[in-house]
Amino acid sequence: MPAQYPYYPVEPITDLRDLLEKSCRRFSKKTALRWKAGGQWHSLTYQELHQQIEALATGLLERGLQSGDKVAILSENRPEWGIAYLATACLGATCLPIDKDLRHQEIFHLLHFCQAKFIVTSLKYMDEVLDMHPRLPSLKGIITMDEAKPSAEAVERLADLIKVGRHLVKKGDRRFREAAVAPDDLAAILFSSGTMGTPKGVMLTHKNIATNIMQTCRSVYVDERDRFLSVLPIHHAYECTCGFLVPLYRGSSIAYAESLRRIVDNMAETKTTVMLGVPLLYEALYERIQAAIAQKGKFTFKLGKGLAWGSEKLLRLNLRRRIFAKVHKRLGGHLRLFICGGAPLNPEISRGFRALGINFLQGYGLTEASPLVAVNRDKAFKDDAVGLPLDGMEYKIVDGELWVKGDNVMKGYYRNPAATAEALRDGWLRTGDLGFFDQDGFLHIQGRKKALIVTPGGKNVSPEEVELELMKSPYILECLVWGGPDPQAAEVQAIIVPDIEQLDIDFGRQGEALTRDQIEAIIRQEINKYCARLAPYKRVKTFTLRDEEFAKTTTRKIKRYLYTDTPPHLSAR
């Protein structure tokens, strides 16, 4: 049985409407949402947020939205996304968050497949939606988040719809306040961005999401003093639950980052205390911080870590924030916590941020679990584990695969009973991930079951384990490890995207670019160097160079199924 650790107290909620009412009543005057426009930061208090949600919901009811109808949301991260989401959910209708990076035909398929009645979108995607509209008979209305004059009769501005609703509320319209939401009502259909094939529509109820919000807050401390910076796409379960609903539940404020390039600046401007991210984001940020420290010359990162370690061991003082005061000042001076999920993380990254005086927690989840399943705690963590199981869930390992059970587990896959029956067994969710619990109760994930390489000698190799080693090379930008095209003669193979810029800097001569043969030779040496730390049967036998980055999911995981047909391989020997 997993070891027990203390949990933080939480306010009980039954559904998202319950969350909204309690938070907006308790934190009415506090800032809820912040965004930047015209070079200035703007904000909404919890009271103002509630008023806008009630007005939009009333406007949607006036336009014919009914309980059980689907409302699609397609846009970048911004306040209107969350307002539309909660207005829909609080009426008992179903939200359909759409990945803005999907192709035109994929978006059309989701809207048609789910029979969306309304779509709330931004100007950036309006032309696409208008092109689809004639072929979507179920779509009764298009709502634009922007102030531009609607270009078609079917389009209505969100601001105008809010005005309609606000006017009706002032006249005594109580439909929103009297709308009934049950815990088992469908709150959202999220299409998982799977790495192994076609995404499926995950049906999450109000109980599923509300349960996971409470579970998360019992494990990770967040309160009304926290300021979140929203960076990850909000349509994804990770950001939607943990980076949007959790902060609102706890009375925190959420600021929307302008772009990935502006993250550090936005952190400083908003005095961010908490941020959610994925490994690639934190790796890039960590390298940037190391480079900035190295430029100072005399004071090295290694020396700073040594001083911090010595002060704790000898003086029992934590001086990390003082030693790295300039780093903290650049990040706003209030940053206390990074949370990482979505893909395997190199433990050196989390240790590195903690050395700087920034608490760093890694977690694990999947859309089908709303999404969090396990997370490290502030006073109980292991950097090579994804954390301790959440309170109120059951866990077991079946043939190496993690199975979980609890009120946060999905209702099923939308209009896909075969896939639902395959994933759910007597209430147990088969995660598809290989893992184990150590003696202290921490969960370790070893990779996807479908991606597992089984050698002719019967040895099992997790591609993710090999990839983590290869990615330690400064000359490998990205990599994908697999068993080759013949499952009967599987061997450990790798597809490598080399870091050409770094290779040219370190190995180029007088400004001349390296030849393909030279690059292959260096990469071969790097593969052999880093694979030497692995058991012989786990080492890469052959590899292929790739010029372009891999296609990825929303959480920056490589879409493995796209890369099973590769050019001739090179020996790593």
Q: How is 182-212 classified by DSSP, letter by letter?
A: -TTSEEEEEE---SSS---EEEEEHHHHHHH
pLDDT tens for 299-319 read: 566 666 666 565 666 556 566
Assess whether 333 and 197 both reside in one domain: no
Q: Which of 140-154, 231-245, 403-417 is the least confident region?
A: 140-154
Helices (H), 233-362: 237, 246-250, 263-270, 279-294, 301-315, 320-323, 325-330, 347-355
What DSSP string describes 437-492?
E-TTS-EEEEEETTT-EE-TTS-EE-HHHHHHHHTTSTTEEEEEEE--S-GGG---
For residues 405-427, average pLDDT: 96
Look at the chain and report how many structural domains it folds into.
Answer: 3
Assess whether 206 and 272 both reside in one domain: no
- CA distances, 517 to each of 47, 523, 530, 566, 572 (Å): 64, 10, 20, 18, 13
Does residue 255 form part of some domain? no
| Contact call for residues 549 and 497 (beta carbons, < 8 A) | yes
- CA distances, 1 to each of 399, 403, 432, 438, 564 (Å): 18, 14, 21, 10, 39
Q: Which residue has the higher pLDDT, 153 or 219?
A: 219
pLDDT of residue 6: 80
Assess whether 354 and 405 both reside in one domain: yes
pLDDT of residue 58: 98
Residue 344 confidence (pLDDT) above 90: no
Does residue 424 form part of some domain? no
Q: Which of 448, 476, 507 is the last residue of a domain?
A: 448
Name the CA radius of gyration of the chain, rounded.
25
Residue 355 confidence (pLDDT) above 50: yes
pLDDT tens for 245-281 read: 999 999 999 999 999 999 999 999 999 999 999 998 9
The residue range of the domain holding 326 is 260-409+433-448
For residues 18-28, average pLDDT: 98
What DSSP string describes 505-558?
HHH-BTTBPPPHHHHHHHHHHHHHHHHTTS-GGGS--EEEE-SSPPPB-TTS-B
pLDDT of residue 558: 85
Q: Which of 199, 216, 233 is the last residue of a domain?
A: 216
Does residue 283 form part of some domain? yes
pLDDT of residue 162: 98
Q: Which residue has the higher pLDDT, 272 or 198?
A: 272
Assess whether 74 and 144 both reside in one domain: yes
pLDDT tens for 64-121 read: 999 999 999 999 999 999 999 999 999 999 999 999 988 899 899 999 999 999 999 9
The band of 148, judged by pLDDT with boundaries at 50, 70 and 90, is: confident
Which residue reads 């990162």 in tokens? 301
Q: Domain with 538 in it: what CATH number?
A: 3.30.300.30
332 CA to centre of own chain? 23
Coil, strand, or helix at residue 267? helix
Q: Which residue has the higher pLDDT, 515 or 199?
A: 515
Q: Which of 11-25, 107-121, 498-512 is the least confident region?
A: 498-512
Assess whether 37 and 119 both reside in one domain: yes
The band of 1, judged by pLDDT with boundaries at 50, 70 and 90, is: very low
For strands 401-405 and 394-398, give the pairing. Answer: antiparallel
Does residue 2 form part of some domain? no
Residue 142 confidence (pLDDT) above 80: yes
Assess whether 438 and 473 both reside in one domain: no
pLDDT of residue 409: 98
Assess whether 95 and 207 both reside in one domain: yes
Assess whether 49 and 188 both reside in one domain: yes
Indicate left, alpha or beta for 234 from its phi (over 0: left) and psi (-120 to 50: alpha).
Answer: alpha
Q: Which of 101-115, 148-162, 462-476 is the least confident region?
A: 148-162
Assess whether 179 and 143 both reside in one domain: yes
Does residue 239 form part of some domain? no
Assess whether 311 and 389 both reside in one domain: yes
- In sequence order, the 6+-apart residues with CB closer than 8 A to the CB of 228 are 243, 247, 252, 253, 254, 255, 272, 273, 274, 275, 276
Whether the pTM exceeds 0.75: the reply is yes
Among residues 334, 333, 406, which one has the least CA distance to residue 365? 406
pLDDT of residue 68: 94
Does residue 209 form part of some domain? yes
Q: Which residue has the higher pLDDT, 199 or 208?
A: 208
Q: Domain with 76 in it: what CATH number?
A: 3.40.50.12780
Please state, in angstroms and rounded to a whole number, the distance separating the CA atoms of residues 570 and 484. 13
The band of 295, judged by pLDDT with boundaries at 50, 70 and 90, is: confident
Does residue 229 form part of some domain? no
Token couple for 118: 């309304």
For residues 14-27, average pLDDT: 98
3-state helix, strand, coil in the chain (%, to 5): 40, 25, 40
Rounded-to-10 torsion of CA 129, 105, 259, 387: 130
Among residues 490, 496, 541, which one has the least CA distance to residue 522? 496
Residue type, 335: L
pLDDT of residue 193: 59
Does residue 207 form part of some domain? yes
Among residues 203, 201, 209, 199, which one has the least CA distance to residue 188? 203
pLDDT of residue 478: 93
| Contact call for residues 162 and 168 (beta carbons, < 8 A) | no
- The CA-based diameter of the chain, rounded to the nearest angstrom, is 78
Residue 2 confidence (pLDDT) above 50: no
Assess whether 333 and 350 both reside in one domain: yes
Assess whether 438 and 332 both reside in one domain: yes
Residue 524 confidence (pLDDT) above 50: yes
- In sequence order, the 6+-apart residues with CB closer than 8 A to the CB of 513 are 500, 504
